[in-house]
Amino acid sequence: MKQAMVYENGTFISKDFPLTASGSVSNFNNLFVFPAFCDVHVHLREPGFSYKETIKSGTLASARGGYTDVCAMPNLNPVPDSAEHLKEQLDIIKKDAVINVHPYASITIGQLGEKLSDFESLKDAFAFSDDGKGVQSEALMRKAMLKAKELDKIIVAHCEDNSLLFSGYIHDGEYAKKHGHRGICSESEWKPIERDLKLAKETGCKYHVCHISCKESVELIRKAKAEGVDVTCETAPHYLVLTDMDLKEEGRFKMNPPLRSEADRLALIEGIKDGTIDMIATDHAPHSAEEKSKGLEKSAFGIVGIETAFPLMYTYMVKTGIITLEKLIELMSTNPRKRFGLKENGYTVWDLDKKFTVNTRDFLSKGKATPFENYELYGECKMTVQNDIIKYIKE
């Protein structure tokens, strides 16, 4: 038996904690036991792109990060836009997944934004999303919301207006002036959110917004919630820690949406504190080394984050006094499970005193591109257990 701080019923209590692992865990100073985390936004890349990540490698990395549930986006080949295509992914999950994987079905056929997927045949899917691409047609999004409402499913939206892409610099500071990179302006994010919130209010659809990054998005969602719209949203650790002034001429700093201003970062933090932002998701998006080696302008969009999410948030949000540890557990476990109907099914054990330097050679994910390389963080995952089965243990 070991003494630990165990999170129960929204608070931490000191109690004896039985270790069921074979072997010993080396350091139990400041040991904390949390309900296992849940990430509603990951890219596991199978089927179709296993050179970037596999179900096996992605779920191993997730377990190391303290997760027992991840929700996999449909940017795949084939796109899960039919029961037949979804089954290809489900078969791999059944064979190789280390933890629970909940696959999204696509809103539109091929994620092309032209025609709705067969929602009826996909009614057993976790939820519907075209993540990576915004649904450009208001009429089509209305149809999707009405169908989702009928099936009691959530529409999960990557909000991006293609007509506004590359209409503004990545940011307006000295970096943009020096390097001249044109990027994805804030309006391309908040304008579709504004549209979709009106549609969600009209249709009564459950609506969730992916990876919000700017102050306008926070304000729109705050207002919609006050008006009773059934909306939730997520942001990611990199938007809470970094700004556009942290950019470097390296592919590991390229993600979509991009890093934004300090004013945007502070607005996101305020949204976290007042409950406008419901959860923290990673948008874990692995690519090959070659795809991320082409500099900030030409590299593929996406960074990895499933193995560093909790240490980043603990170091930069909890230890700095911005939020409590209890609040962080709500954001990473309680709230995503509640919104998406996923039951608590395990726990994860952390040494919060352990300080380490981020080294991508240690990652279990096949993806290595992170802007947090060489950052010093606090918090080491000692063990993750799901349904009384050990999924990860730090030897």
pLDDT at 204: 98
Q: What is the pLDDT of residue 168?
A: 43
Domain assignment of residue 373, yes or no: no
Whole-prediction pTM? 0.93
pLDDT of residue 14: 74
Burial of 17 (C-beta count, 10 Å sphere; 0-12/13-18/19+): middle
> Dihedral angle at the C-alpha atoms of 306, 345, 271, 264, nearest 10 degrees?
10
Region label for 23, one of left (φ > 0), alpha (ψ between -120 and 50) or beta (otherwise): left
Q: Does residue 320 lie in a domain region?
A: yes
DSSP result, 243-288: -GGG--SSGGG--SSPP--HHHHHHHHHHHHHTSS-EE---B----
Decide if 212 contacts 264 (C-beta within 8 A). Answer: no
Between 132 and 11, the more confident residue is 132
Domain containing 181 equals 35-349
Residue 28 lies in a domain: no
At residue 25, the pLDDT reads: 38
| CA-based nearest residue to 57, from 307, 266, 283 | 307
Residues 101-138 pLDDT 10s: 999 999 999 999 999 999 999 987 899 999 989 999 99
pLDDT grade, residue 23 (50/70/90)?
very low
CB distance 318 to 331 below 8 Å: no
How many domains does the chain divide into? Answer: 1
Q: Residues 161, 196, 283, 351: which is the catalytic one? A: 283
Could you report the per-residue pLDDT of 149-187, keeping only the tens digit for each? 999 999 999 999 988 876 444 444 555 555 555 668 899
Closest CA to 373 of 262, 264, 253: 253
Residue 254 confidence (pLDDT) above 80: yes
Provide the pLDDT for residue 311: 98
Q: What's the pLDDT band for 227 if we cut at 50, 70, 90?
A: very high
pLDDT 10s digits, 368-378: 999 999 999 99
* 61 is a domain residue: yes
Alpha-carbon distance of 85 to 118, in angstroms, equals 11
Specify whether 353 is catalytic: no
Does residue 19 have a pLDDT over 70?
Answer: no
Contacts of 165 (CB under 8 A, 6+ apart): 184, 188
Pairwise CA distance, residues 253 & 239, whole Å = 11
Whether 2 is in a domain gets the answer no
- What's the average model confidence in pLDDT over 279-284? 98
The tokens for 357 are 């330097």
13 has a pLDDT exceeding 90 = no
Rounded mean pLDDT of 94-104? 98
Q: CA-CA distance, 283 to 233, in Å (whole number)? A: 13
71: phi then psi, degrees, rounded to nearest 5: -115, 120
Q: Is the pLDDT of residue 275 over 60?
A: yes
In a domain, 323, yes or no: yes
Q: Is the pLDDT of residue 352 over 80?
A: yes
In this structure, what CATH number is given to the domain that contains residue 229? 3.20.20.140
* Strand arrangement of the beta sheet that strand 100-103 belongs to: 37-42, 67-72, 100-103
To the nearest 10°, report the CA torsion of 125, 126, 130, 131: -150
Q: How far apart are CA 167 and CA 186, in angstroms?
A: 10
pLDDT of residue 27 exceeding 50, the answer is: no
d(CA 43, CA 55): 9
Q: What is the DSSP letter of 322?
A: S
pLDDT score recorded for residue 247: 92
Residues in the chain: 395
In this model, does residue 85 exceed pLDDT 70?
Answer: yes
Residue 17: predicted pLDDT: 65
Structure-block tokens of residue 69 = 């549930």
The closest of 149, 145, 128 to 73, measured between CA atoms, is 128
> Is-contact 122 142, C-beta < 8 A?
no
**Average pLDDT score, the chain:** 92
CA dist 110 and 78 (Å) reads 8
Asked if residue 368 is part of any domain, the answer here is: no
Instruction: Quickly state the pLDDT bin for 10 (edges 50, 70, 90).
Output: confident
Q: Is 1 domain-assigned?
A: no
pLDDT value of position 163: 84
Residue with tokens 């947090």: 372
At residue 6 the predicted structure's pLDDT band, cuts being 50, 70 and 90, is confident
